Structure 1
Amino acid sequence: MRNLKFTNAQKGIILDNSNFTRITDVEVYHIGYEAVHFRDGTSYSSIENSRIHNTGKTGAGFGEGVYVGSAEGASYNQNTHYNTIRNVIFGPNITAEHIDIKERSMGTLVENCIFYGEGISGANYADSFIDVKGNGAIIRNNTAYQNGNSIIVDAFQLHEIVPGWGIDNEFSNNTLYLTDPSAYVIGAYNNASGAAHQNTRSPAGNMYRGNVTLTY
């Protein structure tokens, strides 16, 4: 799937049980809920070289940029593994998390993306660029701009929704421009955990809280 625009729909692109699918050079915008959803067992698929903005037009708490997997209790196959989000520009006006990686999703790769924080709404607990509830995610070489949005409390968050999930995630070489010094680069909650390597923020301010291990 390439060189397409998706707009004025309740949802943008949904992949159900769609393995090894490549989405490239698309724009998804003015969407009621989430823009792109890797759902129902979709694995080894990717979105690259694309732009996502203006989501959550009819439900701010459901306006994710890219949604990986499904919440616990959903009727879909939650085993959405080893999907890639690369070279995607997120924002402005994405009302929920730019990327939400759900429990029971493994090995999601997010790299070389740009996040613009204007529009993150706080609805349905949306207060970060990326929320990781799965295992083994790699978040690297991304750049994020808070742009004065005080709703953002952590650039990246880790949550344990299901015991044994939300662990072994890695964050490296990310650059965060967080206008609020009280915002954290990574916040790990409950028993969630992650490793951090050479992430930088400007201006100076809070870096890590919770179970985040620094690696050198």
Structure 2
Amino acid sequence: MNPGTYAGKFVAKKSGTRSKPIFLCGDAQAIIDGGGVKKGYGFHLNGANYWRLVGFTVRNCQKGVIGDTTNGSIIQGLTVHDVGDEAIHLRKFSTGNIVQYNKIYNTGLRREKFGEGIYLGTAESNWGSITGGKPDKSDNNVVRGNVIRATAEAIDIKEGTTGGKILNNVFDGSKIGGSKHNDSWVDVKGNNYLLEGNKGTKTPVDGFQTHEILDGWGKGNVFRNNTITLAGGSGVGINDVRGGNTIDCDNKVTDGKLTKKGACS
């Protein structure tokens, strides 16, 4: 993509292969502009596998980049800002993807409470419309090295998803709001995730939270070597609400306690 503004909402349906992925590349001055934050997706991977979205900007749409049933794709180095709801969302059985080194800010311009930075999976309440009533097994996705300032969670990990990695991201919680439920950088409702090396500053309540929305979910997650600066947050660094997760002692917290019990696992 050459520098310039590309007006519209774009959809990819053709797949590459593991050995020959499809590349769409540009620098930050190559801008996809969706024409308004009230509806539409800036770029939609719709059943398209093995794509490489690299380097360009997505703005001025309801949702930034959406992956529906995309596998083996990489979303890298994008700037996603001024969107109505969430910036990047993998859902509808999207597995084995990587979301890395993106810059995300000014989400939630339509509704703050839906302004997640990166969203993995689908809430159980929407399985009927998105996944035919089945758990959204958007599994084994890696979210790495992103810089996120969002109006809802920087990363929201939904029930039904398993085995992802959340690594070395940077969170700024200074704009989180819009709902009493938006009160942490990361909300983990899936199972068996590794959350390691992340850094966050400013939060309304907690740094990280786990929740058991459905029986057996929000379990088996490991928190390791995260650096947490609560900076006025009224909660704790990692709030393991129902238990069943591992909080290593190398997590570091400033301006508060690591857990409600004040101890690591």
* Same fold by TM-score greater than 0.5: yes
8 Å CA contact 2:206, 2:230 repeated in 1: no
Identity, % of aligned pairs?
A: 34
- Determine the structure 2 residue equivalent to 1:143: 199
Task: State the AA in 1 paired with 2:119.
Answer: Y
8 Å CA contact 1:165, 1:192 repeated in 2: no
Distance 2:244 2:234 in 1: 21
Q: Secondary structure at the match of 1:120?
A: coil
What is the aligned counterpart of 1:71 among 86, 110, 123?
Answer: 123
Task: State the AA in 1 paired with 2:59.
Answer: T
Q: Residues 89-124 of structure 1: CA distance to partner in whole angstroms, max 9, x if unpaired? A: 011xx1100000000100121111100111000515
What is the aligned counterpart of 1:29 among 78, 81, 86?
Answer: 81
Q: CA RMSD in A?
A: 1.7
- Residues 122-141 of structure 1: matches in 2 within 5 Å? 122-123=178-179, 125-141=181-197
Task: State the AA in 2 paired with 1:23.
Answer: I
- Determine the structure 1 residue equivalent to 2:10: none
Task: With the length of structure 1 as denominator, give the TM-score of the two structures.
Answer: 0.90
Higher RCO (C-alpha 8 Å, min separation 6): 1
8 Å CA contact 1:19, 1:42 repeated in 2: yes
User: Displacement, 1:178?
Assistant: 1.5
8 Å CA contact 1:42, 1:79 repeated in 2: yes
- Determine the structure 1 residue equivalent to 2:63: 11
In structure 2, do the counterparts of structure 1 residues 173 and 68 end up closer, same or farther at CA, with 3 Å as the change threshold?
same
- Determine the structure 1 residue equivalent to 2:156: 100
Task: With the length of structure 2 as denominator, give the TM-score of the two structures.
Answer: 0.74
What is the aligned counterpart of 2:260 among 200, 209, 214?
Answer: 209
8 Å CA contact 1:158, 1:193 repeated in 2: no
Task: State the AA in 1 paired with 2:57.
Answer: K
| Max Rg structure | 2
Q: Secondary structure at the match of 2:78?
A: strand
Structure 1, unaligned runs of 5 or more:
none
What is the aligned counterpart of 2:210 among 158, 165, 174?
Answer: 158
Q: Secondary structure at the match of 1:154?
A: coil
Moved over 6 A (4+): none
Task: State the AA in 2 paired with 1:79.
Answer: K
Q: Secondary structure at the match of 1:73?
A: helix
Distance 1:144 1:214 in 2: 18
User: Displacement, 1:193?
Assistant: 2.7
Q: Residues 130-173 of structure 1: CA distance to partner in whole angstroms, max 9, x if unpaired? A: 00000001110011011xx5xx2110000000100000011110
- Determine the structure 2 residue equivalent to 1:193: 244
Distance 2:264 2:179 in 1: 31
Q: Residues 17-63 of structure 1: CA distance to partner in whole angstroms, max 9, x if unpaired? A: 00110011101000000000001000100111110111000111100
Distance 1:177 1:46 in 2: 26
